[in-house]
Chains A and B, each alone.
Chain A
Amino acid sequence: MSWTGRLQCTAAFKNGRTVILDSYGEGALKLMRSVYLDSAHPTLYLVHIGGGYVDGDSYDMEIFLEPSARLMVTTQSAAKIYKTPSTPVRQYTRLSLGEQSVLEYFPDPTIAYEHARFVQETTVYITPSSTFVYGEIITPGWSESGELFRYDWIRTKLKVHREGTLVLFDHLYLHPSHHLTDMLQLGHYTHVGSMVVLSPFITKGVLESFGFLMDQMSDGIYCGFSETAAPGFSVRVLAHDTMAIETLFQRIHQFIRPLYGEREPVFWRKY
């Protein structure tokens, strides 16, 4: 099948630092030259050429981390999904983490405009010694009428496999005409954030102090967190704006980074 955009990249650990061995972008997806925000490990910026995602677009991405490689990945700007009159936009991502590798993956928010339909499937392969950090935000775009929730629907799936077993499956299906504003769904909130941290460094003690951190962070948002089946935790948050979710994710990210030996807080340097 032919893709609107395709991207592939491998990160390897060589002489104390992570290097990008090969990277390949095709069509509407490109990888900017990697930036070493941190001295030893690169940050990748995924770039979408063109203003946004339109009817029938399909994207495929694959990122491999060899043992001990460390990589941060983000996008250059929000993924804007426009109306899809005939075929939903589809995006497939596969992330493979080798032993003791660390992947911190924080794409910009997905903004779904009027009559947008969007399918996103992210499949992750981890080992018991790898660390996977993932944050995702979904927001409704403005519409001419000024109403929120004019997108048709959004379906996102995150599947994490660990040694051949599915350990986490997060399936969101946001369909504004299906009780989306009920309290069992979004209630009066508009923005959805999901964060997942899977890592051998998330111990009972860490979870306890994480609970204290979360207790201080609940102003103006509706949020919950819980221990996952494999060592780690997941966080789900509802809010009225992107900033509230980003602030929460940044605090959590800062909290966990020292656990795997990263002292410096992250500044993505995008704006």
Chain B
Amino acid sequence: MTDQQLLWLLQLSDSNFPSGAFSHSFGFETYMYHEQIRDAKTFGDALVVYIQTQLTYTDGLACRIAYEQLEADRMEGLKRLNDTLFALCLAKETREGTRMMGERLWKLCRDIYGVDELDEIVQTTRSIHPTIVFAAVGRKIEASKRTTVLTYLFTAVQTMVQNAVRGIPLGQTDGQKLLVMAQPYLIHAASIIETLDEEEFGAAAVGLEIAQMQHERLPVRLFMS
């Protein structure tokens, strides 16, 4: 990896990168509300399963497929992938939240990285999934497919940890320790994603989906989803 690539990736994965992800717990707040997630231990356990399900079979695999579609210039396939990602979101808040994040990320990355490959998809479907924007940035700065996927996974996990620090709440040191705890799981997920068949794409974590649906009706909420 060149110095330039490293700096681009550090910026993209920085927790202050304004993608809007800090407003979304993606269902975790429901578990916090019911105190099923209440400390570093309970959060860490849930985070590991989140990495092994949602992040592996949906977001991470989508990032890999998007990278491959961009590489082969198959824009029709990329558009289908984007549609499929939104069709997979059964909870409205998660779907809308993802749409908002994707749009912000796209605008930002269009400005700073000059990513314009996705313009047509955004114009025709009016929505773009963040993982596809990530893949496009990875391609643009010529990061490898694996590095791009791993950066996406880390960024997603980092946001979840930051949100847990605010939401549960946890100490900042606990948050950093959780990120270290997650490292081997992220590396393993990146390897699994390389081997997955497209037939496996989108397998849901059933309980998490229900938590995402229930979030809409929580009486007190810190997060938008």
Contacts and interface: CB of A to CB of B under 8 A. Distances in A.
Interface stretch (B4-12, B89-97, B174-182): B89-97
Given A166-B83, A224-B210, A226-B213, A171 B90 contact: no
B223 interface: no
B36 interface: yes
B15 interface: no
Interface string A163-192: 001111111111000110011111100001
Contact of B49 (A173, A182, A234): A182
Interface stretch (B144-152, B162-170, B196-204): B196-204
Nearest to A189: B207
Nearest to A166: B87
Contacts of B203: 155, 171-173
A228 interface: yes
Contacts of A211: 217
Contacts of A108: none
Interface residues of A, number: 35
A229 B49 contact: no
Interface stretch (B50-58, B107-115, B135-143): B50-58
Given A166-B87, A169-B88, A224-B214, A184 B200 contact: no
B52 A179 contact: yes
Given A183-B31, A226-B91, A226-B216, A172 B207 contact: no
A227 interface: yes
A184 B207 CA distance: 4
Given A184-B205, A236-B210, A227 B92 contact: yes
A179 B204 CA distance: 12
A1 B216 CA distance: 46
A223 interface: yes
B77 to A, nearest CB: 13
Interface SS, A side: strand
Contact of A224 (B31, B88, B91): B91
Interface in A213-252: 222-229, 234, 236-238
Given A226-B92, A226-B213, A184 B50 contact: yes
Nearest to A234: B90
B207 A183 contact: yes
A172 B206 contact: yes
B210 A165 contact: no
A87 B86 CA distance: 32
Contacts of B207: 182-187, 222, 238
B46 interface: yes
22 contacts: A168-B87, A169-B84, A169-B202, A170-B90, A179-B52, A182-B45, A183-B46, A184-B50, A184-B53, A184-B205, A184-B211, A211-B217, A222-B210, A224-B210, A224-B212, A226-B212, A226-B216, A228-B90, A229-B95, A236-B209, A236-B210, A237-B210
Interface of A: 155, 159-160, 165-174, 178-179, 182-187, 192, 211, 222-229, 234, 236-238
What are the 4 tightest A-B residue pairs by CB atom distance, in nearest-first order?
A: A224-B213, A173-B203, A224-B210, A169-B87
